[in-house]
Structures are given as C-alpha cells and as structure tokens.
C-alpha cells in the first residue's frame, strides 16, 4: 500500500504538517527522508526529558518483559509507588490514574459534582471556567473549554459550565451562585495564547472558593511535572487546590493521566463511582516512576529555571531587534509564548523548513516547549533560526 493510499484511511482530524517523523533521540527527531530537526515542541509538552530518555526506556523494557496489564480489581504496586511520589511532591493525599488529559479533567468534573452532592449534601453542579481555556475534547471538557471553535457542530452541549473572562475577579464573583460547585482553571493558558494567571487573582480565587464552600480545581495537564519551573504551577502561586489534573509530561511520552486530590475530596469517589480499564496499568506507572526519579535525581527542576532565563534573554533580544514584528514575550518556565504582529504559521513553517520545530498558540502567538534537557548550544541554535525567520518573513 502506498503512503498516499494509507493516508486516505486516517480520519482528517488534524491539520498535519508535511513531515513523517520516524525516530527521536534526546532533542532531535528525524523524518522518513533522513532530515534532522531540533524539537522545541516536546510533543506538545509531553517528552519533557527528551525523546527516549534512557532511564524511562530501561524501566519500560523491564516492565514489558514482566507484566503489561492487569485489571484495577487487583492491587498494582507500581500505582501505589507513583501515587506516593505525587502525594509527597504536591502535598495532596490521593491519586486516581487514567490515560490522558481529557480523561483527567473529566474525572475532576465528576469528583467536583459528586463531592458537592454526596459529601456536602447540596444540589450544586456548575463549574466556572475561563475564556481562552482548553480542557479537552470530550463533550464535557470541550464544553468547559472557553473557545467556541472546539464546540462547533457538537450541540447540544451538556449543561453545568459557566465561562467568564480570565484574570477578572468581578466576573467570577458575579458568576458564583447557589449552583456553583467548583472553579476550574489553567494557571498558564497554553492553547489560549500562553497567558499566565495573575498571582493576586489566583489567591483571590482560593479565598472565594473557601468563602462559598466550593472547590478550586487546577488543570495542570500542560503546566505540571516541572514545565513551569516548579513541580506544579500552583506551587508558584501560594495556593493549594482541592484537586488538580495531570497528563502530558508525567509519562515522558507514554500515555498517562491522573488527578490528585485532598483526602476530603477523594472521599467522593467510592468503589463503583468511577473507573478505567487501562488507567494505571503497570507500563504507564513504570514510565511515570522513572520520569519522576530522573527529574529528582538529576536536578531537572533547577535546570528548567536556568533554561527559562536563557531563553527569556534571547527572546527579549529578538523583541528589541524586531519591534515591528514581536509584540510580547510571556510565560513561565519552558512554556513560553511570543506574540507577533503577523501570522505565527508563517514563522512556524519557516522554522520547520530550517530544521526547528515550534508551535502556535492562536493565530499570532508562537509557543516554545523545549525539553528540560535542552543544552545551551541548542537554545542558541533555535534562536538563530527564529531570528532568521523573523528577518526573512
């Protein structure tokens, strides 16, 4: 079967680039023509330790020769180990494992409603979310998402979500009602243009939740596991959520998702109320354990901070050199956005043609998501391509 014929059988749900990647190692990937690229996408914040990180690969090889899958009707030691690590790192108590970010956010939505109804004895069910947010592609999570483009053609959408402007305290206060059970937010809106939350606003949200008896839920799908310069983004805001979601970087590329919750909130999930066939399987748990072990033992979080400063210096210099093209540089850790006066797609395409993979976050924002093991030399290489792109486009 030819490549062209094979493509015809894949559903057309992605605007695919004209590249077929077949190999990755560290921060480099290669296509089927042998062309090498420097990857500053990390699979959209997934391969945070680079492609095929050695310790994770070894752990997966060991596990694949031992046990791939067993039902969650059994105790799975690797689940208990990874849950313990996440609890220690976050300060929260209980973990539920699933397979993806959308599943994790579905679990957040379900646990918030059930907590309000079964633990608190209320009939609350609404969740406040924010414009330009992104929480997933299931019916519930796309409804929670604050972007109309992901909802087109999927009506009727499930009720129970109220969307208000981001970083706007008055809008949140007006939205809280006797139906509200939780507030759900990203602390850096990745898909929505790389917009960090204001620290004072986040603290006010925590206070509003406490005063009104509602939960503060944080979507850490893209920001968690070191991406913003701390284990979890909320640790930079001086607040502790009642529950938060994880996925992407937790498994170094192996599919995994999770929610982490306080003991009180976790009581809402009793046996039979939520579940998964594949979530928490031994292979995913092995990848997660090895990822966290690598990060802790190699001082990866500190390295993220160093790379952030280096990239920021380069990007601010580009802004000074191209004031007519670069509007702003923003973000946290290694989740950085560059707002342009022109379509970001043109810069992304130029960079790809010249061996650098970067992303968009909206029509005119570049999103840079390098791995945590990127070298200073690779930063300089990427910035040279970006500079040339801005000069030539």
The tens digit of pLDDT for each residue in 53-83 reads: 999 999 999 999 999 999 999 999 999 999 9
Which pLDDT score, from 0 to 100, does residue 8 have? 81
The Cα-based distances of 225 to 56, 205, 371 in angstroms read 15, 23, 12
Strand partners, 332: 335
Mean pLDDT of the region 134-143? 97
pLDDT 10s digits, 285-303: 999 999 999 999 999 999 9
Same structural domain for residues 49 and 189? no
pLDDT 10s digits, 323-365: 999 999 999 999 999 999 999 999 999 999 999 999 999 999 9
Does the pLDDT value for residue 179 go beyond 60?
yes
On whether the pTM is more than 0.85, the answer is yes
Does 58 reside within a domain?
no
Does the pLDDT value for residue 3 go beyond 80?
no
CATH number at residue 19: 3.90.1150.10
Does the pLDDT value for residue 7 go beyond 80?
no
Which pLDDT score, from 0 to 100, does residue 359 have? 97
Does 226 reside within a domain?
yes
Does the pLDDT value for residue 1 go beyond 60?
no
Domain C-terminal end among 297, 316, 343: 297
Same structural domain for residues 148 and 265? yes
CATH number at residue 283: 3.40.640.10
- Share of residues in the chain with pLDDT > 70 (%): 98
Same structural domain for residues 196 and 257? yes
Expressed as residue numbers, the domain containing 288 is: 67-297
Does the pLDDT value for residue 393 go beyond 80?
no
Does 280 reside within a domain?
yes
Task: Spell out where 8-60 has E strands.
Answer: 21-25, 28-31, 36-39
Which pLDDT score, from 0 to 100, does residue 334 have? 98
Give the number of domains in the chain.
2
Same structural domain for residues 218 and 312? no
Domain C-terminal end among 297, 315, 335: 297
Domain C-terminal end among 276, 297, 318: 297
Same structural domain for residues 285 and 312? no
Alpha-carbon distance 40 to 58, whole Å?
24
Same structural domain for residues 332 and 240? no
Q: What radius of gyration do the chain's Cα atoms show?
A: 21
Report whether 242 contacts 266 (CB < 8 A). no
């Amino acid at each position: 079967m030819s490549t062209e014929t094979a493509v015809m059988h894949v559903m057309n749900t992605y605007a695919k680039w004209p590249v077929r990647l077949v190999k990755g190692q560290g921060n480099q990937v290669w296509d089927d023509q042998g062309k090498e690229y420097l990857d500053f996408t990390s699979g959209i914040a997934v391969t945070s330790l680079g492609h095929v990180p050695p310790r994770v690969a070894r752990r997966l090889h060991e596990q694949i020769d031992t046990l791939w899958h067993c039902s969650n009707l059994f105790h799975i030691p690797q689940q208990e180990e990874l849950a313990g690590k996440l609890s220690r790192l976050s300060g929260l108590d209980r973990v539920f494992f699933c397979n993806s970010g959308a599943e994790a956010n579905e679990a957040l939505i379900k646990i918030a409603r059930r907590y309000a109804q079964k633990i608190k004895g209320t009939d609350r069910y609404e969740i406040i979310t924010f414009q330009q947010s992104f929480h997933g592609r299931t019916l519930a999570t796309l409804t929670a998402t604050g972007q109309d483009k992901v909802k087109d053609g999927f009506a009727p959408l499930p009720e129970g979500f109220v969307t208000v402007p981001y970083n706007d305290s008055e809008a949140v206060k007006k939205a809280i009602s006797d139906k509200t059970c939780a507030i759900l937010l990203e602390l850096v809106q990745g898909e929505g243009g790389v917009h960090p939350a204001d620290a004072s606003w986040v603290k006010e949200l925590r206070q509003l939740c406490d005063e009104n008896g509602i939960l503060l839920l944080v979507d850490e799908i893209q920001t968690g596991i070191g991406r913003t310069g701390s284990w979890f983004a909320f640790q930079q805001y001086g607040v502790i959520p009642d529950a938060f979601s994880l996925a992407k970087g937790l498994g170094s590329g192996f599919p995994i998702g999770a929610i982490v919750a306080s003991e009180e909130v976790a009581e809402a999930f009793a046996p039979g109320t939520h579940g998964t066939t594949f979530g928490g399987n031994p292979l995913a748990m092995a990848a997660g354990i090895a990822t966290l072990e690598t990060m802790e033992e190699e001082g990866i979080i500190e390295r993220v901070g160093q790379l952030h400063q280096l990239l920021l210096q380069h990007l601010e210099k580009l802004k000074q050199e191209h004031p007519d093209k670069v509007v702003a540089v923003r973000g946290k850790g290694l989740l950085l956005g560059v707002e342009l006066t022109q379509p970001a797609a043109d810069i992304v395409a130029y960079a790809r043609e010249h061996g650098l993979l970067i992303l968009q976050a909206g029509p005119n924002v570049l999103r840079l998501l390098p791995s945590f093991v990127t070298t200073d030399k690779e930063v300089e290489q990427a910035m040279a391509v970006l500079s040339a792109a801005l000069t030539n486009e």
